[in-house]
Amino acid sequence: MKWEVRQINLTSHIKYMITIIPAILTNDSNELKEKIAALEKLRVEDPELCRRIQIDIIDGVFADNKTIFPDVLMEIETSLLIDFHLMTKEPVDWVERCVRGMADRIFGQIEQMSSQNEFIGKVQEVGARVGLALDAGTPVEKIGTEVFLNLDAVLVMGVKAGFGGQEFDARVLAKIKKLDEIRSRDTTPFSICVDGGVNENDIKSVVSAGADEVVVGRHLFREDLVEHVRKLQEAAYG
């Protein structure tokens, strides 16, 4: 299992293994720039708190919502690693645009994906890391057993994909546990990333179930970023 061990300047000197990934879901390029700038400042204060961000991409077809497209990132300078979460019809058609947007890792929702193998192959071809994403109501069994060995990560939605501000669905914990069991038999295990609705009350159960990464969107930006990230990490192991 690939854990990122983090040391935070707290009196308890706890070493945190969970990675908190800020997510940005917006149709406003100015809001995107402002939030990335805020996260860059967070890195200056404590480089260990934030190394990666997730940009949510929704095409108006997968869900009745629409965001900025990956190309917008071409205009923004950032030292952060960028994940693109594709909530789109045929995510494979968006891969090259994500690369132009400086993608480090690309997740595709499987619900409107014709071929998981084609998507994985395309992302690997362009040199990015690859992940498949499951909506809250999509069972783990929908991922082809033959593709797990080729995945860097699996993203599990804790809410219905496509909209921010929803409450975490605790039924998703069983899916996290199932994925953790599957990767225990893998010599090159994938990371488990949980996205949507996770707060200080939920994060401990999410981590206990097997998650390595937790994606937090609007909830994270509602208060001081540094303090909020630290609160989440403390709650994960408190």
Residue 40 half-sphere exposure toward CB, CA atoms < 13 A? 10
Residue 99 half-sphere exposure toward CB, CA atoms < 13 A? 15
Give the C-alpha separation, 70 to 85, whole Å: 10
Residue type, 209: A
Residue 56 is among the residues annotated as catalytic for this protein? yes
Give the C-alpha separation, 198 to 215, whole Å: 8
Whether 62 and 111 have beta carbons less than 8 Å apart is answered as yes
Let me know the angle formed at the C-alpha of 59 by 77 and 139, rounded to the nearest 5 degrees.
Answer: 105
In the set 59, 135, 152, 195, the catalytic residue is 195
- Considering only CA atoms, give the Rg of the chain: 17
3-class SS at 113? coil
Residues in the chain: 238
Residue 224 is among the residues annotated as catalytic for this protein? no
Whether 74 and 38 have beta carbons less than 8 Å apart is answered as no
Nearest Cα to 88, choosing from 161, 169, 28?
Answer: 161
Biggest alpha carbon–alpha carbon distance for the chain: 51
In the set 56, 59, 152, 212, the catalytic residue is 56
Q: Which of the residues are catalytic?
A: 56, 195
